[in-house]
Structure 1
Amino acid sequence: MTSMTTIPTSSSAPLTNALRSRRLPVWALVAIGVAAAVLAVLLFKVAGLMDGGWVLTLVGAVLIFLIGLSVISSVVEGRRAARNRVATSLIYSAFVLALVPLVSVVITLLNKGRTRLDGTFFNNSMRNITAFDSGGGAYHAIVGTLEQAGIATLITVPLGVAGAIYIVEYGRGRLANTIRFFVDVMTGIPSIVAGLFILAFWVLIVSPHLSSTHQPFNSGFAAALALFVLMLPTVTRSTEEMLRLVPASLREGSFALGIAKWKTIMRIVIPTALPGIVTGIMLAVARAAGETAPVLLVAGGTPNRNFNPFEGNQESLSVYIYDQAAAATKYGPPRAWTAALTLVALVLLLTVVAKLLSRRTKLNQK
């Protein structure tokens, strides 16, 4: 009969207590962070080691915190726990440092853009207003941006989503690979190239046949076409990735119930991927709303109101910002900052509305 050896329980208890006791308390982490911040201020601000402003001070504080945490954690907890804490702190530090530019942009926009947040700015155009006048507004630019981005979205979304559905659900072989290749190539096209393409094709070739004078003309619709060229690859690629994330079991279950493939796509696949599709669409809209070069080439820009996107020059917020920021007067930059804040607010509002609508549609289908 084989004898069984038992492990003494007395040896495991001290080990457990040792593991529990060798942990840095929360107050120690806070103390290391405060000490790192104070030391960074002393080095970069008081001593004037490197005059890099508060951004460099923040980066220095993070580096000092990581070094101090690594040393103290190695002494108290051991090297393995120290490496884990440093890796975790690096992840959080990278997140905080990534937020710094975003927060800085938002604070700068709110600080400088509020100077012209008044009724005059939103109810008046720049007609008969020079760079040396204090009045004027961006009403005509807001209308132009909404019309151009809206027309581009109406053209892009059906084509982009349909192209992604074909690539994922129907496309096979060389044709699907070719379409995917050209979509990837179009993603990297500079915006000025899209503007030049619409200028050469629509403005110089097509528009004379649509004019009674047979002369080429700029228009907001031409700007919408240029934005469409920029938005299409983004919408197609993002929609394709979202459709690929839909589990195949959902499709198979629908097919097992005898549901047609097109109905499965419309009622199951697309609603499941709808939040991601909406996110991709809004990213494309945000990029299109902020484009300046193609709009400046084919829309021309104007200080007057033009509600007709199919005839005559039309302004946009991006072109308005470009013109006002270039004005060498004290009245131009405040108008540019307020227009930039308005553009960001419009994109944010559209994104929130689109997210709410997609969420409501998904809940209704459940």
Structure 2
Amino acid sequence: MSTATVPEPTVPGPANPGEDRLNLRGETLPRFVPPVVAAGSLVVALLIYLLTPMDSEIQIVLMAALIFVVAMTAISTRVEGRRRARDRFATTLVYGTFLLALIPLVAVLASVISKGASRLDISFLTHSMNGIGARDSGGGIYHAIIGTVEQVLIASAIAVPFGLLVAIYLVEYGRGRISRTISFFVDVLTGLPSIIAGLFVLAFWILALGQGFSGFAGSLALVVLMIPTVVRSAEEMLKLVPNELREAGYALGVPKWRTILRVVVPTALPGIVTGVMLAVARVSGETAPVLLTVFGTNLINANPFSGEQSSLPLYIYSQAGQPQQFAIDRAWAAALVLIIIIMVLNLIARLFAGRNRLK
């Protein structure tokens, strides 16, 4: 009796057997290759900088990054194969663009710290500009800090609850023409120039109603700028909450408003807080609205509802416009303080969101 032989299954090979033969063996570049290639790329870029009429350090960085990407892709193609070379090219491009995006941020921070730290001291934080001229070395930002903190807090107290309620309506209740109309106006306000908000408050609140320049008028202008950012960020975070959480609350007989208040909002709270801090960071550095509504003063005015008031952006603008070096140094120090205040507010918001995260 004869036995039939079963042919062994064959595995189809690649269309071009020699294309990925190194990749099939699993060869990878050693870890020391990328740093070596990066150092070599920097050396080549420096040589090009010295031998050509290039006159910018930024050009050295861009040239070195371009040489590094080309060299790593070529070496990876030769050793690892085309497939891994494409993956390494994409990875290198992502990391490279990330590092390039950090350059302006690091440059700005380094410039502000180096130029503002020498002037920053206790006296600068506890004195105002009352009786101080542009040629005088004294003076401080105490009055401007009070104005900025009060104006931003008032604007946040108005814009954050209002914006959050609008976002809840759009996500949980909004349907039809009314919802589309609200979304349209929010989109319009998102691209609104800051000076338009200041002109609106100036024309309506100050000139038409005769309320006068004050810190509260500046807060109203900041509210117009904060609302669209708060609405859009909160709306996107609320949309990310799984519908299963809402349905679980409804299945237990919990009313919809209570489910939103106790489940949906706490779940999206970290993202909402991040959006709020983005809005606060944006309005904290606005100059045009406060220039038209607060008007500025060198005196300490702790009452935002009466009389002219100052703010840090307005203080920086006025001091940076002076030709004296003392005034320019005060402007750099005030800019450093403004950055520190925004960082502290972000830290507080992160801690608050972490403590109130839904378990």
TM-score (norm: length of structure 1): 0.92
SS at match of 2:32: helix
Structure 2 partner of 1:47: 51
Question: Gaps spanning 5+ residues in structure 1: where?
Answer: 209-215
Partner of 2:322: 327
- Does 2:130 correspond to 1:93? no
Aligned to 1:58: 61
Letter in 2 for 1:331: F
Which whole-Å deviations, capped at 9, do the CAs of 1:212-265 have from their partners, x for residues lacking one?
A: xxxx52000000000000001110111111101101110001100111101100
The answer on 1:242 being equivalent to 2:237 is yes
AA paired with 1:31?
V
Structure with greater helix share of residues: 1
The number of residues matched between the two structures is 350
Q: Give the secondary structure class of the aligned counterpart of 1:116.
A: coil
Per-residue CA distance 1:90-119 (angstroms, 9 max, x = gap): 011011111111111111111111011111
Alignment of 1:75-90 (within 5 A): 75-90=78-93
Query: For the residues of structure 2 that align with 1:186 and 1:31, how far apart are their CA atoms?
Result: 50
Moved runs in structure 1, 4+ residues, more than 6 A? Answer: 15-18
Q: Are 1:4 and 2:2 an aligned pair?
A: no
Q: 1:339 — aligned with what?
A: 334
Shift of 1:150: 0.4
CA distance in 2, matches of 1:18, 1:42: 34
Gaps of 5+ in 2: 14-19
After TM superposition, the structure 1 stretch with the greater mean CA deviation from structure 2, 30-39 or 70-79, is 70-79
The correspondence of residues 227-266 of structure 1 with structure 2, limited to 5 A, is 227-266=222-261
Counterparts of 1:127 and 1:254 in 2: how far apart (Å)? 59
- Go from structure 1 to structure 2 and tell me whether the alpha carbon gap of 1:17 and 1:90 turns closer, same or farther (over 3 Å shift): closer
**1:183: Cα distance to partner?**
0.4
Aligned mates of 2:276, 2:32 — CA distance in 1 = 45
Identity %: 51
**Residue 221 of structure 1 pairs with residue 216 of structure 2:** yes
Residue type of the partner of 2:51?
A
Residue matched to 2:16: none
- RMSD of aligned C-alpha atoms? 1.8
Q: CA deviation at 1:33?
A: 1.2
Partner deviation per Cα, 1:108-140 (whole Å, 9 max, x = no partner):
111111011111110000000000000000000
Matched residue SS, 1:4: coil
The one-letter code of the counterpart of 1:33 is: A
Alignment of 1:288-299 (within 5 A): 288-299=283-294
Alpha-carbon separation, structure 2, partners of 1:161 and 1:79: 50
Deviation for aligned residue 1:18: 6.5
Give the Cα separation in 1 of the matches to 2:235 and 2:255: 21
Deviation at 1:31, TM superposition (A): 1.6
Show CA shifts across 1:68-102 (max 9, x none).
Answer: 11222222222222222111100110111111111
| One-letter amino acid of the structure 2 residue matched with residue 178 of structure 1 | T
